[in-house]
């Protein structure tokens, strides 16, 4: 499996898309800190951009890479290699390359320009979302052999978690405004990894008071030790469950 990881990693690092992704993140990060006098505002602006760009690039790139590597994967399947180890190797190679790009594009600028807890939280949130959406993209590619359908599913998942889910939450809030929904809101936030990352970052930036009663509720729940551990466990679940389903499906898939 180490050789598969090494080959996939070196192959991806030579990809111009990864280089462009790294440069884009670096330019955006440095530009925001140069334009903003308040580093906290720059971090919040970078957070809003990263919550859109990082999941999108992770989803599309991993899906396309898996389809383009189909012949290579089929060749390795014919060798005495367990399918689970094969897919794990390709998957770990992909997320390692994306995390290296993230370190160079966001991690280093934050380390130099904003070496604080909020900067570290932003990087860790972006890294977690990279892994989550890479897992979802891998599952999408494994479930269907049609490249167009696989890319479409990945885009739909990104669009759902980024835009549609928040619309559903607002609809529920408006329709059931007369009922106490505080606990329901916490539960619904667990069903969206992007919302989890956003809430964690807003609490780190100490602007939860601007969110009113909901912000105070989130601060009370996510700000204590139990809430923080629960968020980490839920995020780990988002990282691992899709890839485990993908590996299980890949073991029995007719290539």
Of 49 and 230, the one with more pLDDT: 49
Of 223 and 240, the one with more pLDDT: 240
DSSP string for residues in 11-32: HHHT-HHHHHHHHHHHHHHHHH
What whole-number percentage of the chain has pLDDT above 70?
87
Cα angle for residues 83, 61, 141 (degrees, 5° grid):
40
Of 218 and 155, the one with more pLDDT: 155
Distance CA 197, CA 238 (A): 12
Between the two ends of the chain, the Cα-to-Cα distance in Å is: 20
pTM for the complete prediction? 0.90
Count of the separate structural domains present in the chain? 1
Q: In sequence order, which residues have a C-beta less than 8 Å from that of residue 173 and are 6 or more positions away?
A: 181, 185
Domain of 110 in residue numbering reads as 2-251
Helices and strands of the chain, counted as H and E runs: 13, 0
Distance CA 47, CA 50 (A): 5
User: How sure is the predictor about 155, in pLDDT bands with cuts at 50, 70 and 90?
Assistant: very high
Spell out where 83-162 has E strands: none
- Provide the token pair at 77: 């399947």
Predicted pLDDT of residue 75: 83
Quick one: average pLDDT of 212-219? 53
How do residues 75-99 score in pLDDT, each as one tens digit? Answer: 888 788 888 888 999 999 999 999 9
**Contact at 8 Å (CB) between 138 and 246?**
yes
Predicted pLDDT of residue 212: 44
Block residue for tokens 């399947």 = 77
Distance CA 98, CA 56 (A): 12
């Amino acid at each position: 499996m180490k050789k598969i990881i090494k080959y996939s990693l070196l192959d991806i690092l030579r990809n111009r898309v990864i280089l462009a992704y790294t440069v884009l993140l670096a330019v955006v990060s440095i530009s925001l800190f140069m334009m903003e006098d308040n580093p906290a505002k720059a971090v919040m602006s970078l957070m809003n951009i990263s919550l859109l760009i990082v999941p999108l690039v992770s989803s599309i790139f991993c899906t396309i890479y898996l389809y383009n590597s189909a012949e290579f994967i089929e060749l390795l399947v014919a060798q005495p290699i367990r399918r689970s180890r094969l897919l794990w190797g390709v998957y770990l190679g992909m997320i390692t390359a994306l995390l290296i790009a993230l370190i160079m594009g966001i991690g280093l600028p934050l380390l130099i320009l904003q070496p604080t807890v909020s900067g570290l939280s932003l990087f860790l949130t972006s890294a977690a979302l990279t892994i989550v959406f890479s897992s979802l993209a891998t599952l999408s590619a494994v479930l269907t052999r049609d490249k167009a359908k696989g890319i479409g599913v990945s885009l739909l998942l990104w669009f759902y978690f980024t835009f549609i889910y928040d619309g559903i939450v607002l609809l529920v809030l408006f329709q059931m405004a007369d009922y106490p929904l505080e606990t329901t809101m916490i539960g619904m936030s667990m069903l969206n990894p992007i919302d989890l990352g956003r809430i964690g970052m807003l609490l780190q930036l100490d602007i939860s008071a601007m969110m009113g009663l909901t912000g105070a509720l989130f601060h009370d729940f996510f700000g204590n030790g139990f809430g923080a551990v629960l968020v980490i466990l839920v995020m780990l679940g988002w990282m691992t469950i899709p890839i485990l389903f993908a590996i299980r499906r890949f073991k029995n898939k007719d290539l």
